[in-house]
Amino acid sequence: MSLLETFDHLVQPWRLVFPQERTFQRTYRLGLGLLTAPAPHLTSTVLCTLGRQFRDWSTEYRVFSRSPWQPRQLFSPVFDHLQELLPPSPSAPSSGASPDRNLPCS
C-alpha cells in the first residue's frame, strides 16, 4: 500500500468527525500537505506546499478555530492502526510496558 493509500485509509473516519463534507475535505488536504511540507510545519508552509499561498487562507484557518472537533477523534483511527503499520523494531517500546512497574522515569 502506498503512502497516499495508507493516509486515505487512516483519515476516512474523519468524515464522521466534521459536520460538513467541505470541512473534511479541507482537513484532508491540510493533513496531506503536512506530510509533504518541509520544515517548519506551520499552516502557512503547508498551504504553500499545496500551492494555495495566493488564495484566501481564512477557510483553512477556520478549521482550527471554528470547526467543532476533538483531537482525540482525529487521532484515534491512526493510533488504532499503528501496530500494523509500523515494522517491528528491537528498540520500539514494548506493548506490554506499563507505568506501574518500578522503573525509573526519564
The domain ranges of the chain are 3-85
Amino acid at 26: R
pLDDT at site 3: 87
Q: Exposed, middle or buried, 87 (CB in 10 Å: 0-12/13-18/19+)?
A: exposed
Q: Residue with C-alpha cell 492502526?
A: 81
27 in Cβ contact with 7 (< 8 Å) = no
Neighbour count for residue 67 (Cβ, 10 Å): 15
C-alpha to C-alpha distance for 80 and 77, rounded to whole angstroms: 5
C-alpha to C-alpha distance for 64 and 79, rounded to whole angstroms: 21
pLDDT at site 66: 79
pLDDT 10s per residue in the chain (106 long)? Answer: 798 999 999 999 999 998 899 999 999 999 999 999 999 989 999 999 999 999 999 989 888 887 788 888 888 988 898 888 887 777 766 655 445 555 555 5
Q: What is the pTM of this model?
A: 0.74
Q: Cell triple for residue 31? A: 493533513
pLDDT at site 14: 92
pLDDT at site 42: 92
Q: Where are the alpha helices (DSSP H) in 12-81?
A: 21-36, 43-49, 58-65, 71-80
pLDDT at site 51: 95
